[in-house]
C-alpha cells in the first residue's frame, strides 16, 4: 500500500482542497428549472486529504480525485445547513465511507490502511467531525438525527453501485516510499 509523510499534515483542523465538478447545461428550459430545484453540486478533492481526528485518535485519509456532493441537505434548508458549510468537514469522509463501506486511515509510519465501518459507525464519525469543526454539538445532533432517518437511501444506493476502492483509486495500492 501507498505510504505518506504525515509530518506534512498538521494535527489541526483543515479542509480539503476541492473544486466544483462542471455542471452540464440543459438546453430545455423545463429541464434546467428542475435541475435548479433538485441538483446538488458535486466536488472533487484536488489533492490527498489527511485529517487528524482527536476524538477517534486516528488520521482519516481521502485520496485525490474523490468526487462527493457535500452534505446532502434538502435545498429548502440550505439557508440553515449549507452542504459546504459547517457540515463539509464531516461530509467528505462520510461520503467516502458510504461509497466504499469503510475509511482509509494512516498509522504513524505513514502507511494507509482500510477499515470497514457500518452505516451507524460512519454516521457517528460524521457527527464527531461536525461537532469538532463547528463547536456546535446541538446543530450536529440535528444533522445526525436526520441522517439516521434518511441516510439509508444513500447507503443503499452506494451498496447497489458496488464501487470498489482498488478500481476507483489504484494509486493507493501501489508501493510508494517517501
Q: What is the pLDDT of residues 128-141, one digit of tens each?
A: 998 887 778 888 88
> Sorting pLDDT into bands at 50, 70 and 90, what band is 11?
low
Spatial neighbors of 133 by CB under 8 A, at least 6 apart, are 13, 86, 88, 89, 90
pTM: 0.86
- Over residues 84-102, the mean pLDDT reads 89
- Over residues 28-54, the mean pLDDT reads 86
* 12 pLDDT above the threshold of 70: no
Of 90, 86, 53, 50, nearest in space to 68 by CA: 90
Taking all residues of the chain, what is their mean pLDDT, rounded to a whole number? 85
* 18 pLDDT above the threshold of 80: yes
- Over residues 40-69, the mean pLDDT reads 91
- Over residues 60-66, the mean pLDDT reads 95
Amino acid at each position: 500500500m501507498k505510504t505518506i509523510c504525515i509530518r506534512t499534515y498538521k494535527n489541526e483542523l483543515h479542509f480539503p482542497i476541492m473544486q466544483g465538478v462542471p455542471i452540464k447545461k440543459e438546453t430545455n428550459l423545463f429541464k434546467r428549472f428542475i435541475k435548479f430545484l433538485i441538483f446538488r453540486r458535486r466536488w472533487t478533492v484536488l489533492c490527498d486529504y489527511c485529517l487528524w481526528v482527536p476524538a477517534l485518535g486516528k488520521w482519516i485519509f481521502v485520496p485525490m480525485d474523490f468526487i462527493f456532493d457535500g452534505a446532502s441537505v434538502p435545498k429548502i434548508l440550505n439557508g440553515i445547513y449549507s452542504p459546504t458549510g459547517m457540515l463539509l468537514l464531516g461530509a467528505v469522509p462520510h461520503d467516502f465511507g458510504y461509497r466504499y463501506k469503510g475509511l482509509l486511515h494512516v498509522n504513524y509510519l505513514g502507511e494507509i490502511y482500510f477499515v470497514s465501518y457500518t452505516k451507524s459507525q460512519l454516521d457517528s464519525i460524521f457527527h464527531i467531525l461536525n461537532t469538532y469543526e463547528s463547536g456546535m454539538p446541538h446543530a450536529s445532533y440535528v444533522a445526525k438525527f436526520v441522517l439516521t432517518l434518511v441516510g439509508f437511501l444513500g447507503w443503499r444506493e452506494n451498496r447497489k453501485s458496488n464501487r470498489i476502492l482498488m478500481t476507483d483509486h489504484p494509486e493507493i495500492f501501489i508501493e510508494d516510499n517517501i
